[in-house]
Chain A
């Protein structure tokens, strides 16, 4: 096993990982390792479409961004963290501009902002409808300026090296050769993205399998608020490919099969005139509410059909070809290629699809976890920004704000802390333990051992049936039981490919192992949270309302090895804004004060 030594190792080469690596390099030290299971520009940040939020206009305020975020998260956000976030958002977007990000502009040359779901004011910076793509490539290209950053592309991180509750490095599989490497470091940053691939219909890339979450979780760090899984209201039927919320921000409307703008029936009205979108009304309501409205329309039989999917329609025709090409060129390309629809001529069939994991690796406000020197940032982390539902266009900004913070803090920790112990013995142990584990998966020819595709198919089915937009006790109990059964069967999993070089069968199998552990945490937290809040909606009689008395708390799930995971509750920081009601549409207007105008909403992508 080759051993490499760094000050800081970053796991994940997406937006958060690259931002963290750059911040670490700028903070000092001389060695930052950046490990990613794919080339950095393949990371899923690339698929984010809509934009990144920061208070920009003169008529906007930090308080307003704070209020939107906290109310949008149904008061489950850590308010100190939100406060830090809104205050640092603008500087991060400016930094991206200085690194060359092609933000869309006004005629004057100033940066343009667009409206977004759940946002009171236009504050979303965008680069046409490929914001994540441009941000990721800008970050990747900028990272090339720093010789201190050494990349390990296509290395799959298997585990953390932890000694005396201190992170001391990671063990990784070199995909091209099948060899194990140990990357020692005084601090480690997880920036591995979400877990949308636990579900069948999702907007996420195939790599979004929750690996980093599982790796930290298995080492004892809590997964927090995992029950909050965001459905994006507009995914393409079949594939789940994302149609950005910006298409509604630009004026797109949603209709059911009768051409009726049904959102006015779900507390988001009155109907806004075509071509005059209004913040927080109708199509610019929050994502959770819009996805839930779809479910009700579907129950009432008012959805149309596309293939075998139930769909509603996103109508952009009134925006005109030229405007669509300027603001939403990628949407036009996707609709044409994947559902054969020209948005300038016909409405696009859409349906909700799993989009974002609000929960993740629990960290404090400095992005550090309960393991000293282990940090997390981006979608894999739960720093406490999003609460029960993420505000649209907050996550691209989150990557930057908290990627930066994690990188800086991790390097400071690495430079300040005494080095880990020599650790030769624990390194040897970790290496041989994984060697053995991989060999046992490879060992073929034993009858009755399952393979990963069948387990994965079951996982997707279980999560869709038991842990969807609406949930109940019976469904969740069943789902949790099934997941535990799958975890047991996974212990005996066997590969169909015994080779060393680019063994993608092995990779997918390892990813599934991570997904199963994360799925258990998700189902357990969803079962135990007997209320409805944000993206977590229960149909059971006593659980249909938010219940602050009992559940104004974060869920924390702890890994227990082969035994069932354990759940605890943790207080929420609400010291800046007392819980209030979320209102949108006409109910939301006229109310003043913190939170009363909450929204939540879409996000980037």
Chain B
């Protein structure tokens, strides 16, 4: 048995969050999620948190573990011989206990048109496109995002400005921009060029550190800056207004 602390928030009882200690059994393979499930089933049924796949692919169980964003199912108690404090993901409004409000995250994802936009000359739609492994390799890494939101909890710029499009959404936009089958880059650049787009990033880089899937969103955002600079220059020379903020 060992002690862990969880930041509780029960809005129907008190407006103040508070820390609560629990004694949980541990083995070498006990994950943070296992510990939370033990608490819920055996100690305190009122503890609320999200989880499902417990294999680091559904993206539900992001929490702060000792101040660092982690997937609860892929972080193990054995990594924390001393204190262990579990808190809700940072920078997002907390609804209850470890449950954060994901609305703004989803809004940012949706704003970048994260789907394939085919050009007018797209081939016969009853046949698959061709795409070589090399063409795939350009975007594949950015297609591995599981939308867990850890990068938003790691990003101080998002913490200061919730309107910042943020790492995961920009990585997703970049994934489609790099896809050889896509023709929608011009449409996606408007939100990326805006003041809450790529230029809000100061390359802290912590988003890529905490990403459980090796997506490297910081690279996507900063590659996005290069693209944004290019697209703004092109707009400048073609005589159109720069920006497109808020479109």
Contacts and interface: CB of A to CB of B under 8 A. Distances in A.
Given A141-B115, A338-B55, A501-B11, A98 B128 contact: yes
B45 A497 contact: yes
A592 interface: no
A144 B115 contact: yes
A308 to B, nearest CB: 10
A38 B52 contact: yes
Nearest to B74: A337
Given A100-B176, A102-B140, A134-B143, A499 B12 contact: yes
Contacts of B96: 499, 501-502
Interface in B77-99: 95-97, 99
Given A98-B125, A130-B144, A134-B143, A105 B116 contact: no
Interface of B is mostly: loop
Given A47-B57, A109-B131, A100 B115 contact: yes
Interface in A95-119: 97-100, 102-111
A503 interface: yes
Contact of B136 (A102, A333, A497): A102
Contacts of A94: 126-128
B54 A141 contact: no
A105 B136 contact: yes
A8 B80 CA distance: 49
B46 A496 contact: yes
Interface stretch (A237-245, A377-385, A527-535, A565-573): A237-245
Interface residues of A, number: 60
Contacts of B182: 100
Interface residues of B, number: 59
A102 to B, nearest CB: 5
Q: Interface majority SS on A: helix, strand, loop or mixed?
A: loop
A207 B131 contact: no
B102 interface: yes
A39 B130 contact: no
A453 interface: yes
B58 A47 contact: yes
B58 A42 contact: yes
B16 interface: no
A142 B179 CA distance: 15
A326 to B, nearest CB: 9
B48 interface: yes
Interface string B126-145: 11111111011001100110
Q: Which 7 A/B pairs are nearest by Cβ-Cβ distance?
A: A496-B45, A109-B130, A100-B116, A205-B52, A453-B41, A97-B128, A205-B53
Given A42-B59, A105-B136, A501-B12, 5 more contacts: A41-B59, A102-B139, A144-B113, A205-B53, A453-B41
